[in-house]
Chain A
Amino acid sequence: MFKIAVLGDRESVLGFKALGLEVHSAETAAEAKKTLHALAKDGETAIIYLTEQYAAEMTDEIAKYKDQVTPAIILIPGKSGSLGIGMKNITDSVERAVGADIF
């Protein structure tokens, strides 16, 4: 059985605790990076929801896990709103596959 983790600043991720997800709060991007690697390494976490605010500062780390089946790193908007990175990622994968942004 796999776990679902939520990673982000405390206020953005607090609510997910009620759903029974594994919540990891990080105060800085560096801390978030460390937690991300730890979660990816343990092999039990299938999905990591990451707030876009931190994702903006750790694109390399996210790219590393892009081609692996686990973990799936899915960006969600943090409490201060969406930065459009999640959408941009979809566009990027289209660009990667097709060679041009066709949407």
Chain B
Amino acid sequence: MPSAQVNATRMELTKQKKKLATSKRGHKLLKDKRDELMKQFLDMVKENRALRQKVEQALMRAHGSFTVASALMSSEMMEQSLLYPKQSVELGMKFKNIMSVNVPLYQFQTKSADSGEIYPYGFATTSCELDDAVDALSSVFQDMLKLAQMEKACQLMAEEIEKTRRRVNALEYVVIPDCEAKIKSITMKLDENERNNTIRLMKVKDMMLAQQIEAQRKADEEAMAAFKASNA
């Protein structure tokens, strides 16, 4: 059913036909886009899950070491040891385009390249558990960054897939059938008009023929009458 009444004209028909062609092409392209996005998304999600599991485990280990360290040292001492970090991190962000979704790529730079620089305290007064904890954290940090990148990419792609899916469905189930119905109703209307016209012409022709026959008959009768009168 066409959702709105359309003018049954040839111009409208051409317009609707063009619209249908565009919609069909758009539908196909969007469907391809959705399929490709989905493929990449599912791969990424799988990786994301594995990475998250790894990071969570590593972080729990680090937290464990911290708990032990805080049991061995006073909390003031802990605070003091970690108060002024030697290391500082700067993050650079680039973008990568995956099927028109811009996902961030992170690169980080540490201020000093020496990995031994992560301990901001002297070893004399602190417990070795703290060293373990800081070490565990620094080793998991690379993975944490990768996790951030991947998780954000997943979220952005999920949004894009949802959008594309809606568009595909709207085209497939609303726009295209609507257009087809409109085209059908216009063609039927135009055909109907055509038949109307033919019938009218036939009727007019019949009427004209009848008139001519009548006129001929009258003329014949008059001629006959004249002939009879002249003979008499």
> What residues of chain A have their CB less than 8 Å away from a CB belonging to chain B?
1-4, 11-12, 14-21, 46-47, 49, 66-67, 69-70, 72, 74, 76-79, 81-82, 86-87, 89-90, 93-94, 96-99, 103
Q: Tell whether B88 is near chain A: CB-to-CB under 8 Å.
A: yes
* Complex contact B154–A90 (CB within 8 A): yes
Q: Tell whether B23 is near chain A: CB-to-CB under 8 Å.
A: no
A8 to chain B, nearest CB (A): 11
Interface flags for B58-69 (1: CB within 8 Å of A; 0: not) read 011011001100
Interface of A is mostly: mixed
Q: CB-nearest residue of chain B relative to A98?
A: B38
* Complex contact A16–B137 (CB within 8 A): yes
When distances are taken between beta carbons in the complex, the residues of chain B under 8 Å from A98 are 38, 161
* Complex contact A14–B108 (CB within 8 A): no
* Complex contact A20–B93 (CB within 8 A): no
* Complex contact A1–B92 (CB within 8 A): yes
From B70, B118, B144, give the contact of A18 (CB < 8 A): B118
* Complex contact B82–A79 (CB within 8 A): no
Given A69-B156, A93-B155: A15 touches B56 (CB 8 Å cut-off): no
* Complex contact A11–B66 (CB within 8 A): yes
Given A15-B66, A90-B52: A96 touches B137 (CB 8 Å cut-off): no
* Complex contact A19–B141 (CB within 8 A): yes
| Interface size classification for chain B | 35 or more
* Complex contact A74–B144 (CB within 8 A): yes
Q: Tell whether B106 is near chain A: CB-to-CB under 8 Å.
A: yes
* Complex contact A46–B79 (CB within 8 A): no
Given A87-B52, A90-B48, A94-B45: A15 touches B134 (CB 8 Å cut-off): yes
Task: Sample 30 A-B pairs with CB under 8 A, ordered by A number.
Answer: A2-B91, A2-B92, A3-B91, A12-B63, A14-B82, A17-B83, A18-B119, A18-B134, A19-B85, A19-B89, A19-B118, A19-B141, A20-B87, A46-B93, A46-B104, A66-B159, A69-B102, A69-B104, A72-B104, A76-B56, A79-B63, A81-B60, A82-B60, A93-B155, A94-B42, A96-B161, A97-B162, A99-B165, A103-B46, A103-B49
> What residues of chain B have their CB less than 8 Å away from a CB belonging to chain A?
38, 41-42, 45-46, 48-49, 52-53, 55-56, 59-60, 62-63, 66-67, 70, 78-79, 82-83, 85-93, 95, 102, 104, 106, 108, 110-111, 118-120, 133-134, 137-138, 141, 144-145, 147-149, 151-152, 154-159, 161-162, 165
When distances are taken between beta carbons in the complex, the residues of chain B under 8 Å from A16 are 137
From A11, A18, A19, A97, give the contact of B157 (CB < 8 A): A97
When distances are taken between beta carbons in the complex, the residues of chain A under 8 Å from B90 are 1-3
